[in-house]
């Protein structure tokens, strides 16, 4: 049982993350779960609900016990690192409010893990994915829908959540799309003719009424299309084409960025198109080497 004071503090911290840091809904959900799990463990570990004063007394051994406990529940290094990051952020904020020194928590080392670099498809493979997606359903309008969504992922570099958040008011697609991404950050994305044509073909074939304030992409029985439907299509396509398990819907976004860069696109422009806050994230997406990254920095920050 988490103490009322700790629960109230968590709620205030989450409000802070939403209001001042613009954290996305999925991030807030993850933060809530991660910090709640930590506070629950500390309560059980200490044998009684921990008020704010007690949280200030968390020791290095307490942190080691929590990490060992979490690892014991088959939590991998990557997930544990994420949980620790959330806990550190919460405790740092709490320490500033309550005036204590959070050394034991902040000094806890994050577990090392191998970062999985995105694996973009070749240009030919990406085109084959789009062409093959059309044949995954015997229902013509669903086939057109699946192809339209996957074309948007590759042709506009959208996240699957962004593509499925489009509404009927977005159709027919204009030359640019205003996309609201992570952290409610908006960006403008150019729309290729192929993407516009694919969406037009889908809207003409869709048997369900597409309302301006309703979802653009509909499920088989109406209502908003679920991401798992497109994930399933991609699974079938990669099996048919002999592609690796990394050929997911998100890989189409990676491929968009990499192919654009290889065609001479500017890394900072691609960063804007993807909606990345950090250029280093775009670097990881495209696999660009450090020398190329430093060239971009040099152009952006020329020496006097």
- Whether 250 is catalytic: yes
Q: Which candidate in 119, 182, 208, 224 is catalytic?
A: 182
- The Cα 272–Cα 300 span in angstroms is 14
Q: What are phi and psi of 79, to 5 degrees?
A: -65, -40
- The Cα 169–Cα 68 span in angstroms is 50
- Whether 159 is catalytic: yes
Q: Please report the DSSP string for the chain in residue order.
A: ---HHHHHHHHHHHHHHHHTT---HHHHHHHHHHHHHHHHHHHHHHTS---HHHHTT--HHHHHHHHHHHHTTT--HHHHHHHHHHHHHHHHHHHHHHT---HHHHTPPPPP-------PPPHHHHHHHHHHHTTS-SSHHHHHHHHHHHHHHHHS---HHHHHT-BGGGPSP-SEEEEE-GGG-EEEEE--HHHHHHHHHHHHH--S---TTSBSSB-TTSSBPPHHHHHHHHHHHHHHHT--TT-SHHHHHHHHHHHHHHTT--HHHHHHHHT-S-HHHHHHHHT--HHHHHHHHHHHS---
Q: Which residue has the tokens 């500017």?
A: 266
Q: Which candidate in 250, 254, 268, 303 is catalytic?
A: 250
- The Cα 178–Cα 189 span in angstroms is 6
- Whether 182 is catalytic: yes
- Whether 202 is catalytic: no
Q: Which candidate in 145, 159, 196, 259 is catalytic?
A: 159
- The Cα 277–Cα 87 span in angstroms is 22
Q: Which candidate in 83, 145, 254, 276 is catalytic?
A: 276
Q: Which candidate in 145, 187, 238, 253 is catalytic?
A: 253
- Whether 16 is catalytic: no
- Whether 31 is catalytic: no
Where in the sequence numbering do the catalytic residues fall? 159, 182, 250, 253, 276, 285
């Amino acid at each position: 049982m988490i103490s009322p004071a700790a629960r109230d503090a968590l709620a205030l911290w989450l409000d802070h993350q939403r209001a001042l840091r613009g954290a996305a809904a999925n991030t807030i959900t993850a933060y809530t779960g991660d910090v709640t799990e930590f506070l629950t463990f500390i309560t059980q570990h200490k044998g009684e609900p921990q008020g704010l004063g007690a949280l200030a007394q968390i020791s290095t051994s307490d942190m080691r016990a929590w990490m060992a406990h979490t690892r014991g529940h088959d939590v991998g290094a990557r997930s544990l690192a994420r949980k620790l990051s959330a806990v550190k952020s919460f405790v740092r904020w709490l320490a500033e409010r309550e005036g204590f020194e959070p050394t034991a928590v902040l000094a806890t080392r994050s577990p090392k893990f191998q970062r999985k670099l995105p694996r973009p498809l070749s240009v030919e493979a990406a085109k084959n994915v789009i062409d093959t997606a059309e044949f995954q359903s015997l229902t013509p309008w669903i086939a057109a829908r699946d192809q339209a969504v996957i074309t948007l992922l590759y042709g506009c570099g959208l996240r699957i959540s962004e593509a499925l958040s489009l509404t009927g008011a977005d159709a027919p697609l204009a030359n640019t799309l205003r996309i609201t991404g992570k952290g409610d950050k908006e960006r403008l994305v150019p729309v290729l003719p192929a993407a516009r044509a694919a969406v037009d073909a889908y809207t003409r074939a869709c048997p369900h009424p597409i309302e301006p304030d309703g979802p653009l992409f509909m499920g088989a029985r109406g209502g908003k299309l679920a991401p798992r439907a497109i994930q399933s299509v991609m699974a079938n396509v990669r099996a048919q084409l002999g592609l690796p398990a990394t050929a997911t819907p998100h890989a189409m976004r990676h491929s968009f960025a990499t192919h654009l860069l290889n065609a001479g696109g500017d890394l900072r422009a691609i960063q804007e198109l993807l909606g990345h806050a950090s250029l280093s994230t775009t670097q990881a997406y495209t696999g660009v080497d450090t020398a190329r990254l430093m060239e971009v920095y040099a152009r952006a920050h020329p020496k006097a």
